[in-house]
Amino acid sequence: MNRFWERPYGLRFAVGIEDTFIPQTSPGRRTLDEYGLTGHYENWREDLNMAASTGAAMIRYGIPWYRVNPARDAWDWSWTDRVFDHLLSLGLTPIVDLMHYGCPLWLECEFANPDYPQRVAEYAARFAGRYGEQVRFYTPMNEPLLNAMYCGEDGRWPPALTGEEGFVTLIRQLTRGIVQTQRAIRDSLAEPVFVHVEATFRYVGEPAGRIRFLEERNWLVYDLLFGRVREDHPLHGYLATNGFSDEDLVYFRECETEPDILGLNYYPHLTTTEFLPNGERRNVWSGAEGMEELIRSFYARYGKPIFLTETSVSGSVEARIGWLRDSIALVHRLRAEGLPIVGYTWWPLFSLVDWAYREEESPAENYLRHMGMYDLEPDGEGGFLRIETPVVREFRAAVESYGRIKTLNKERATKEDGRYIIFYAFDEEGEETEEDEES
């Protein structure tokens, strides 16, 4: 396996398909399943072909836990078997997004269920046991901090807890789930690679005290996973006041769960929040400067290779191309300085459905956010067409300029059930001729 995240630090270009799964419904709340809303369940083959056509070497790809585990002890891998056979045949290396917000319908109280960490670990072990010969890169949970905010502080998503105690409850449960997931995968595979993925936040304005607290809170998940929350930690008292026990604190100090690669999600139009004098908030543009600040601060704090696991901008094709150029230029500049930035992901591959869809009543087409390389357009029959934009050409040019698209080689591997997978692997030239692309 190519270890591009180690010295001399390679760079992988990736894409991703928006994969938020919230299957639970309640009055005024409908199912939010991005694969279902965008038609990916039916168009997965075309979508993966599109991903490969961009020249990306890797793809962040999510698994709908609630569909593969529809009942407590029932498992259905029929759809994922077909998808991964094809995905791997295209030469794409998946970073498997095991948890992207939603729990199965049978898991009462969702993340707040005392059995959640055990259940999510069991799911991860079953996935790794089934696909681990071909799949080595895993994200135990996407954006745990944002997950705790939506599900534990704001009450927007199940289990709809609110306030500080709700937030801390979710932090405890989600981080325990990450610890147990990573253990379960290590028990199943010889050399898994863990790509943790976190949302990033910046704050400006007043009140200064609240901003300082939120800035400290940005580090909380990874300070716990790195075993750094002790009596002198700025949020030690906050955790204890809101339900963290001494046993919880000992657990995380003794169960350090560091990633191999630290993934950061950054959107120049969304990541920075300004607090206004009247008490309201708004998102403000923070551009490449904000991205640089966050990359430097995360690397300085944790010392792990950085993979930009999500970035894009909502708007015109021209705006998207402009951000693509600016953000990739920043990545190359920081790498030239010696920062180990090992990956760049344009997310999403095609338009997504805004999360506001869950709380409203209009059809999905009214909530499309054009942030991808391909735009979705209604086909007149309840589905969406995939329309290629010039962003594809721009991304591919960036990949080619780095030397990632070269000679295509074909390999074949036989599966235990008699089927076989065809791998298409690219030879590499130029900057990283000493490396071989992983199949």
Mean pLDDT rounded to a whole number for the chain: 93
Confidence band, pLDDT 50/70/90 cuts, at residue 422: low
How much of the chain, in percent, has pLDDT values that exceed 70? 92
Whether the per-residue pLDDT at 383 is higher than 60: the answer is yes
Q: Quote the CA–CA distance of 142 and 157 in Å, as a whole number.
A: 15
Q: Which residue, chain included where needed, has tokens 């898991």?
A: 107
Which token pair is 69?
A: 């585990």
Whether the per-residue pLDDT at 435 is higher than 50: the answer is no
Query: pLDDT tens-digit profile of 94-127?
Result: 999 999 999 999 999 999 999 999 999 999 999 9
Q: Quote the CA–CA distance of 3 and 93 in Å, as a whole number.
A: 13
Q: Quote the CA–CA distance of 306 and 385 in Å, as a whole number.
A: 34
The beta-carbon contacts of 387-391 under 8 Å, at least 24 apart in sequence, are 388/50, 389/317, 389/320, 390/317, 390/321, 391/317, 391/320, 391/321, 391/324, 391/346
Whether the per-residue pLDDT at 426 is higher than 60: the answer is no
Sorted by sequence, the CB contacts under 8 Å of residue 284 that are 6+ apart come out as: 204, 272, 273, 274
Whether the per-residue pLDDT at 32 is higher than 60: the answer is yes
Residue 421 has a pLDDT of 58
Residue 1 has a pLDDT of 79
Whether the per-residue pLDDT at 437 is higher than 50: the answer is no
Residue 285 has a pLDDT of 98
List of domains in the chain: 12-407 (3.20.20.80)
Query: pLDDT tens-digit profile of 71-90?
Result: 999 999 999 999 999 999 99
Residue 162 has a pLDDT of 98
- DSSP string spanning 257-280? ---SEEEEE--TTTSEEEEPTTS-
Query: pLDDT tens-digit profile of 151-208?
Result: 999 999 999 999 999 999 999 999 999 999 999 999 999 999 999 999 999 999 988 9
With H, G, I as helix, E, B as strand and everything else as coil, classify residue 137. strand
Residue 90 has a pLDDT of 98
Question: What is the pTM (predicted TM-score) of this model?
Answer: 0.92
Whether the per-residue pLDDT at 406 is higher than 80: the answer is no
Residue 192 has a pLDDT of 98
Query: pLDDT tens-digit profile of 316-338?
Result: 999 999 999 999 999 999 999 99
Residue 414 has a pLDDT of 65
Whether the per-residue pLDDT at 418 is higher than 80: the answer is no
Residue 433 has a pLDDT of 37
Query: pLDDT tens-digit profile of 276-313?
Result: 999 999 999 999 999 999 999 999 999 999 999 999 99
Query: pLDDT tens-digit profile of 360-379?
Result: 999 999 999 999 999 999 99
- CB burial of 257-293 (b: ≥16 within 10 Å; e: otherwise) equals bebbbbbbbbbbbbbbbebeeeeeeeebebebebbbe
* Listed range (53-67, 256-270, 414-428) with the worst mean pLDDT: 414-428
Q: Which residue, chain included where needed, has tokens 């409850």?
A: 169
- Rounded to the nearest 5 degrees, what angle is found at the Cα of 404, between the Cα atoms of 403 and 405? 100
Whether the per-residue pLDDT at 434 is higher than 70: the answer is no
Q: Mean pLDDT throughout 416-424? A: 57
Q: Quote the CA–CA distance of 57 and 14 in Å, as a whole number.
A: 6
The backbone torsions φ and ψ at residue 418, rounded to the nearest 5 degrees and listed phi first, read 95, -20
Q: Which residue, chain included where needed, has tokens 């999403």?
A: 348
Whether the per-residue pLDDT at 356 is higher than 50: the answer is yes
